[in-house]
Amino acid sequence: MLRKIVEIDEAKCDGCGECISSCAEGAIALSGGKARLVSDVYCDGLGACLGECPQGAIAVVEREAPGFDEQAVARHLATLGQPPAHGAAGHRAPGHGQAPARPAPQAHAPAQGGCPGSAVRELPRRSLSVVAADPGAPQAPAPRVGGSTLGHWPVQLQLVPPHAPFLRGAHLLVAADCVPFAYASFHADLLAGKALVVGCPKLDDNQAYAAKLADICARAGLQSITVARMEVPCCGGIAWAAREAVARSGVQVPVKDVVIGIDGAVRQG
């Protein structure tokens, strides 16, 4: 049938995920760092997601597509642990092709391939607290460093939009996923005073990483990039992505490479 349905321009989409939480039917998911339509039958064509896209990547078009299936939506939302989009399935007024006004999605409800928790937010910077060891205690333990220096959310590179305010003029830390687990002083030595993106070049698309980082370089006016990676060979891909991004963007940004051993020792940088 010929009907109205959402169309997403992947060239414009930066994977910010804003559209996902605005779709009460769960019709949009993040895949490969891009927003995509999960199924035509989940999309009612009303376009509640249009105004949420900062890149203007979403439009409502008219094309051949199977009809909107409210029963299928109800089953789909049930698998996601979300309430029905318009109340019980099948409650549309007879003869109407459009759904009644929907309630706002619940802030805590998970969304397919993303969640409302992926919304960009800035956090108050916390200072590190150092708890000194008791010098009189036998075999006194080393001083402990506590407190988070994370200043924003999200941190996954695929979810961070290049236009995020916390990236503007930032010193950017590009960290491999395993580094914070291996390096005990991650917050104090590497993260403090920096914006953060994290990823795994072995499990994810490293070319997509390079493209996203190049977009960030071109937009954000970064002061520096620090790459924190593990010593294992596959982890070198994230350092390549950062340097490739600088080259593609044409913006001169200094890049520092910090290599952490699997024993938690600093091997380089």
Kindly list the domain boundaries of the chain, sorted by start residue: 2-117, 121-268
Rounded Cα distance, 100 and 243, in Å: 50
Please list the pLDDT of the chain residue by residue as tens digits (269 residues): 999 999 999 899 888 777 887 788 889 987 777 888 999 999 999 888 877 788 889 999 999 999 999 999 888 888 776 666 554 333 333 333 343 343 333 333 333 344 555 667 777 655 444 444 445 545 444 444 457 899 999 999 988 988 889 999 999 999 999 999 999 999 999 999 999 999 998 888 889 999 999 999 999 999 999 999 999 988 999 999 999 999 999 999 999 999 999 999 999 98
At residue 219, the pLDDT reads: 92
The amino acid at residue 53 is C
In three-state secondary structure terms, 182 is helix
Token look-up 């900062």 returns 54
Token look-up 């940004």 returns 253
pTM, two decimal places: 0.56
Backbone angles phi, psi at 19, to 5 degrees: -70, -25
Rounded Cα distance, 181 and 188, in Å: 14
At residue 107, the pLDDT reads: 36
Write the DSSP symbol of residue 57. -
In three-state secondary structure terms, 266 is strand
The amino acid at residue 58 is I
2-117: CATH architecture: 2-Layer Sandwich (3.30)
At residue 116, the pLDDT reads: 55
End-to-end CA distance of the chain: 60
Q: Is the separation of the CB atoms in 49 and 19 below 8 Å?
A: yes
Distance set, CA 195 to CA 41, 151, 166 (Å): 39, 7, 7
